[in-house]
Each structure stands twice: as C-alpha cells, then as structure tokens.
Amino acid sequence: MKTFFKIILLIAAVVVVFHCWPLLAAPLGAAVAVGVIGGGLVVLALLAVAGVGVGALAAILAVATVFLVGLSPLWVPVLLIVGIVSLFRRAARAKA
C-alpha cells in the first residue's frame, strides 16, 4: 500500500511541475541571465585590463622611440663606423 501512495504522490508532483513550469522556469531563467551578465562583466573587466596593458606597452615603446631618436646623433655614426670596420675586416680575412 505504501508503494501505491508513493506512485500517486510522484504522479501528482509531475503534474504540478508540468502545470507550473513557467513559475519554476522563471527563477532558472533569471539565474541564467545573471550568469550571462556576470560573465559579460568578467569579459569586459579582462578587456579593460588588457587595454591598460596595451596602453602601457605603447607608452613604453613611445618613450624608447623618443630616446633612440634623441640619441641618434651618437649611435648612427658609431654604427656606421662599426659597419665599415667589419666590412674591411671580412675583406682582409677573405684575401688571406
């Protein structure tokens, strides 16, 4: 007899779930929406952090470029002299 009542109770629970599924689905839909919005916020935060990192990298490259351009009257002639010396040393080695 207990099994019969358990089956009837289970059938009644299934009928209630089928009739009230919109009421039960609303909290689940809200939970999914909150999860999607939360995930979107996490992605936006990561993009903001990446944007700051890219901005910092661009600033560092700009400073390095200005530094190199400012020192170019020194390193360009030195590089030219090193290149000419290297060229003549290779030519001297090839003749020997």
Each residue's pLDDT tens digit in the chain (96 positions)?
688 888 888 888 888 878 877 777 778 778 888 888 888 888 888 888 888 888 899 999 999 999 988 888 888 888 899 999 988 887 677 665
Total count of domains within the chain:
1
CA separation for the pair 62, 1 (Å, rounded): 84
Domain that holds residue 48: 2-95
Which letter, b or e, does each residue of 41-65 get, where b requires 16 or more Cβ atoms within 10 Å of its Cβ? eeeeeeeeeeeeeeeeeeeeeeeee
Distance from C-alpha of 96 to C-alpha of 78, rounded to nearest angstrom: 27
d(CA 77, CA 16): 88
pTM beyond 0.95, yes or no: no
